[in-house]
Every structure is written in C-alpha cells, then in structure tokens.
Amino acid sequence: MIAVARGDGPRVLPGSLLTLRRKCGKPGFLCATGSPHETPALSFSVGVRTKMFALLPDEVPVAATGVTRYPEVAPSR
C-alpha cells in the first residue's frame, strides 16, 4: 500500500476507498448466478490517470484512516 508521511505527522492517503464487484466467469462459482466477488480497493490519481490497488481485508481499516486524514493535511488548492 502507498503511504505518504509529512514529518512526524500521521500517515495519509490521497484517494478513495471502493469495493470492486465482478463475475469471474467460472460456471460453478456463486458469482455466475448470485453475488459477484467483492474486493476492497484504493483509487487515486496520478497526473490525469486513475490508479487502483486491491487491498487485503486487514489493510482496509488502515487505508480508511489514511484517506480520512488526507483532507486535514493536504495543501489547499
């Protein structure tokens, strides 16, 4: 996971948390007829492009804290 630190301050992440939902296409899987697979992800911009990183379930709380803190330390535009 990408983390940005400012001096001794808290870790922050510019971006948004989201849940990717998809069907894998395997006929025997539940996603073929029911609920799609879900993967937590972090979405962020690099220049004019949007990048996404899939997160492990135990990374979600850490990422959520970093995303919440970002507006507190981000430079105003």
Each residue of 3-52: pLDDT tens digit?
433 344 457 678 889 999 988 888 888 888 888 989 999 998 888 999 99
Each residue of 44-71: pLDDT tens digit?
888 899 999 899 988 888 888 888 877 6
- Alpha helix stretches (DSSP H) within the chain: 60-73
Q: What percent of the chain has pLDDT over 70?
A: 77
pTM metric for this prediction: 0.67
- 6 alpha-carbon distance from chain centroid: 20
